[in-house]
Chain A
Amino acid sequence: MSQVSETTVDRQIDTSHMQVSKTDVAIDVINMHKWYGDFHVLRDINLRVMKGERIVIAGPSGSGKSTLIRCINRLEEHQEGQIIVNGTELTADLKRIDEVRREVGMVFQHFNLFPHLTILQNLTLAPIWVRGTPKAEAEATAMHYLERVKIPEQANKFPGQLSGGQQQRVAIARSLCMQPKIMLFDEPTSALDPEMVKEVLEVMISLAEDGMTMICVTHEMGFARQVANRVIFMDQGQIIEQNEPEAFFSNPQHERTKLFLSQILH
């Protein structure tokens, strides 16, 4: 559990736009199962995410956290049950999959920027070729988001010339350029040096402040406390427990959760 950190951003979180919708469902996962060959990775997952929710998924490694969010934009296929994203059910239909992916941004542990393209090209590629945005407009949007993640001056560099933290911020900006309705974060800070974790969390918090629907697989418990409105604990492919962060950390119900928290919080 060495990668767990308690980095917090010392400022007041502006909660004025952080409203969870009571009626609009963003993601609905119903009785979902997934196998890798014979290995049952996800067992009977039921998860309803409302618009504007900020969810942190925690749990030991191998518990299926990443697999779960990768199922939501179909980087992984599920075998049983339903996943409905923005009202579109994910099936083998490629058209629908691309429809869902357009509206769901994803940030990866290892950034996965395109090394042969400049930062600006990384940001404008999908808007131009998926959404059909005119180039000038796509570049203006890209610069807007680069400013938002505070690195507009890097626009014409290549990913290899940036630090890890900068690369991850570019990756977030790249997703935002598609103006997604939902953002998935797959351990976005796990590959970063401690001093860079903060700059990335800062960007994620500002996203939350704008009311973005977010699901974050992360070991940043400080982030969970400050930003999440729900923490989900997974173990061995199942959702064991879910609660508001305050209650989750101070009063865990399940033995397995207690053990996990006692290991990571001293």
Chain B
Amino acid sequence: MTDIGFVRSDLVEARPAPVRTTGAIAWAQKNLFSTPLDTVLTILGLLFLAWIVPPLYGFFFGNAVGPNGTVEQCRMENAGACWAYISSEMEFFIYGFYDIPEQWRPNIVFALGALLLVPLLIPKAPFKKTNAVLFLAVYPIVSYFLLAGGVFGLREIPTEKWGGLLVTLILSVIGITLSFPLGVILALGRQSSMPIIKTVCVGFIELIRAVPLITILFMASIMLPLFMPQGMTVDKFLRAIVGVTLFTSAYVAEVVRGGLQAIPRGQYEAASALGLGYWKRMWFIILPQALKHVIPGIVNNFIALFKDTSLVYIVGMKDLLEAVKTKNDTALEWQSGNTATTGYIFAAMVFWVFCFGMSRYSIYMERRLNTGYKR
């Protein structure tokens, strides 16, 4: 009936329990000590940490003088970071020489900005169009009058007095929001079949890219007034904004051009064949795809812009870094071994927080927009 040759009649002996595959020890075995080389590297790494962490911890926390400390504590031997200096000069770092009783005005600008920007960056938040109009059109005007004053009974505060983080943020936010559309237009212009537009765009991009930002800022602040009619001046602040914006837009244009070139010809043709005109073709079909490809490059430029705003010190403006430097040099009452270092560390931390935020947001957007090639 059956041609099975062998049927087992008793149970196979139980095998030994598997070696641990979960838990801390198993994880360490697998990731830290799986080969002799790994073991050596792990030990070296631990030694390095043991060498570097305690002094760093001591400097930043252990021996540091807290925000409520005094300068005497900062001057003690073995004292770490002098956070008391930062907290006592915080107002200058944020507002520069902006009149102290009027500092509620920048505060409102900061709060309004956050209130409008955050929902704009959250894809699911409603009223995107209204929000965008408020942020891009209404907010700048309101902010300008609030900060500069001179109307509605607000005391006039000239831009020379603005400083610190306020200046850094104004320069970067305006620079980013203007250089992006300008860069896209330059990139499209560079691909144009119309010779004049193309020449102008290519010339502009190549000129700007061939010159350091410092030169552009110098040109804007020293050369430009020479060409102006007598008695007419353009605000120094405005000149810096224009310089930074033009500089970044040339770089953004080249990044966007790379994205445009990555779009297959078939996409242009299919859009054309449906009767979509040039601008609709670009707006609905080409740019959404092209810009998605180049998010990392564009954000790279924005991060660079954010940090480059500190170069405006050469035209006499006090951005965050320059504000810190000014205090380091002039606040004699706070002089101690670590005062200047702490100041620069503080500036670095502020820059890092903003740049890291931009970087994370761009990664988030890349993932979110990755629908096109979803399978």
A108–B266 CA distance with the chains assembled, in angstroms:
8
A116 at the interface (CB under 8 A from B): yes
B273 at the interface (CB under 8 A from A): yes
**Majority DSSP secondary structure for residues of B touching A:** helix
Chain B residues whose C-beta falls within 8 Å of the C-beta of A174 in the assembled complex: 274
The 9 lowest CB-CB distance pairs between A and B, nearest first, are: A112-B270, A115-B372, A126-B274, A102-B275, A112-B266, A106-B273, A116-B372, A101-B275, A130-B275
| Range for the number of chain B residues in contact with chain A | 20 to 34
B36 at the interface (CB under 8 A from A): no
B292 at the interface (CB under 8 A from A): yes
Interface 9-residue window, one of B247-255, B280-288, B322-330: B280-288
B contact set with A: CB distance below 8 Å:
264, 266-267, 269-277, 280, 284-285, 288-289, 292, 369, 371-375
With contacts A75-B269, A158-B374 known, what are 15 further pairs, Cβ within 8 A? A75-B272, A101-B275, A102-B275, A108-B270, A110-B266, A112-B266, A114-B267, A114-B285, A116-B292, A129-B276, A129-B284, A130-B280, A158-B371, A160-B372, A178-B275
Most buried by B among A106, A112, A125, A174: A112
A95–B280 CA distance with the chains assembled, in angstroms:
14
Chain B residues whose C-beta falls within 8 Å of the C-beta of A106 in the assembled complex: 270, 273
Chain B residues whose C-beta falls within 8 Å of the C-beta of A116 in the assembled complex: 288-289, 292, 369, 371-372
A3 at the interface (CB under 8 A from B): no
Please determine whether B275 and A112 come into contact, CB atoms closer than 8 angstroms: no
Contact of B372 among A101, A129, A158 (CB under 8 A): A158
A29 at the interface (CB under 8 A from B): no
Give chain A interface residues in 50-106, CB to chain B under 8 Å: 73, 75, 94, 98, 101-102, 104-106
Contact of B273 among A75, A115, A160, A161 (CB under 8 A): A75
Most buried by B among A113, A126, A130, A171: A126
A44–B239 CA distance with the chains assembled, in angstroms:
61
20 residue pairs from A and B, CB less than 8 Å apart: A75-B273, A105-B273, A106-B270, A108-B269, A110-B266, A112-B270, A113-B270, A114-B284, A114-B285, A115-B289, A116-B289, A126-B274, A126-B275, A129-B284, A160-B373, A160-B374, A160-B375, A161-B374, A175-B273, A178-B275
Chain A residues whose C-beta falls within 8 Å of the C-beta of B284 in the assembled complex: 114, 125, 129
A206–B46 CA distance with the chains assembled, in angstroms:
73
A101–B280 CA distance with the chains assembled, in angstroms:
14
A101–B273 CA distance with the chains assembled, in angstroms:
6
Contact of A112 among B269, B289, B373 (CB under 8 A): B269
A113–B280 CA distance with the chains assembled, in angstroms:
16
Chain A residues whose C-beta falls within 8 Å of the C-beta of B267 in the assembled complex: 112, 114
* B133 smallest CB distance to A (angstroms): 21
A37–B369 CA distance with the chains assembled, in angstroms:
41
Chain A residues whose C-beta falls within 8 Å of the C-beta of B374 in the assembled complex: 158, 160-161
Chain A residues whose C-beta falls within 8 Å of the C-beta of B275 in the assembled complex: 98, 101-102, 126, 130, 178
* B204 smallest CB distance to A (angstroms): 26
A158–B284 CA distance with the chains assembled, in angstroms:
16
Most buried by A among B264, B267, B273: B273
- Quick one: given A116-B371, A158-B371, A160-B373, are A178 and B269 in contact (CB under 8 Å)? no
Chain B residues whose C-beta falls within 8 Å of the C-beta of A114 in the assembled complex: 267, 270-271, 284-285, 289
Give chain A interface residues in 100-136, CB to chain B under 8 Å: 101-102, 104-106, 108, 110, 112-116, 125-126, 129-130
A94–B371 CA distance with the chains assembled, in angstroms:
33
A98–B276 CA distance with the chains assembled, in angstroms:
7
Please determine whether B272 and A101 come into contact, CB atoms closer than 8 angstroms: yes
A174–B271 CA distance with the chains assembled, in angstroms:
11
A106–B270 CA distance with the chains assembled, in angstroms:
8
* A162 smallest CB distance to B (angstroms): 10
A73–B275 CA distance with the chains assembled, in angstroms:
10
Chain A residues whose C-beta falls within 8 Å of the C-beta of B285 in the assembled complex: 114
Nearest to A98 among chain B residues (CB) is B275
Chain B residues whose C-beta falls within 8 Å of the C-beta of A112 in the assembled complex: 264, 266-267, 269-270
Nearest to A95 among chain B residues (CB) is B277
Chain A residues whose C-beta falls within 8 Å of the C-beta of B375 in the assembled complex: 160-161
A101–B275 CA distance with the chains assembled, in angstroms:
5
